[in-house]
Every structure is written in structure tokens, then in C-alpha cells.
């Protein structure tokens, strides 16, 4: 679960911009839980531009995450189908051998 949490960092971030007197600092992209600064954007951006960037990042992070899940499910299904086919073949071989042994035992016990 920890890996998934780190992959969704942008979904759990916020932006801060501080003022030092009349001077504003760069925008800081911070993790919600820890406050860790993971990126800084220039102070020259407007608030609207900054929040537009945030919306863009979060939207496409989520889309990429969902695409990855869909891809993995498809991959898993293919791998599982191949495994199931191999196991069915093994079952067929074992059933044939079981029938052969049953017939051999049946023949040998009738002669006794």
C-alpha cells in the first residue's frame, strides 16, 4: 500500500505562497500530511495560473494512474489465462494416466 501512496503524491498536495512584507515568495507545492516541499514554482505566476497548473497535474496524474491499473488488469488476465491453459493440459494428462492405471488394475484383479 505504501507504493500506491507515493504514486498519488500530487493528489494529496497543496500550494502555499508566503509574504515577506510586500514581497511574495515562490509558490511551494507541499504534501498535505507532512508539509514537505516537493516542488517550487516561480512567484511570477498568478494565483489563477498556479491553480490551473495544480488542476492539470492532478487530472493527468489520476488519468495515468487509472490507465496503469487498466493495463495491469489486462496483463494479469493474459498471464492467468496462460496459466489456466497450462494447468488444464496437465489435468488432461493426469486424467488419461489415471484412466490407464485404473484399467490396468481392473484387468489384473480380474485375473486373480
Per-residue pLDDT tens over the stretch 67-81:
988 888 887 777 788
Q: What are phi and psi of 65, to 5 degrees?
A: -60, -45
Binned at pLDDT 50, 70 and 90, residue 8 comes out as low
Q: Residue 49: name the closest of 57, 38, 61 by CA.
A: 57
Domain total in the chain: 1
Can you give the pTM of this predicted structure? Answer: 0.55
Which residues span the domain enclosing 10?
2-110
Amino acid at each position: 500500500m505504501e507504493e500506491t501512496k507515493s504514486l498519488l503524491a500530487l493528489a494529496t498536495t497543496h500550494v502555499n505562497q508566503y509574504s515577506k512584507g510586500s514581497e511574495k515568495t515562490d509558490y511551494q507545492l507541499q504534501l498535505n500530511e507532512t508539509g514537505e516541499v516537493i516542488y517550487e514554482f516561480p512567484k511570477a505566476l498568478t494565483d489563477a495560473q498556479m491553480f490551473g497548473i495544480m488542476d492539470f497535474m492532478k487530472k493527468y496524474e489520476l488519468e495515468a494512474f487509472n490507465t496503469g491499473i487498466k493495463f495491469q488488469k489486462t496483463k494479469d488476465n493474459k498471464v492467468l489465462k496462460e496459466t489456466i491453459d497450462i494447468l488444464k493440459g496437465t489435468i488432461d494428462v493426469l486424467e488419461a494416466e489415471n484412466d490407464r492405471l485404473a484399467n490396468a488394475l481392473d484387468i489384473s484383479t480380474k485375473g486373480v
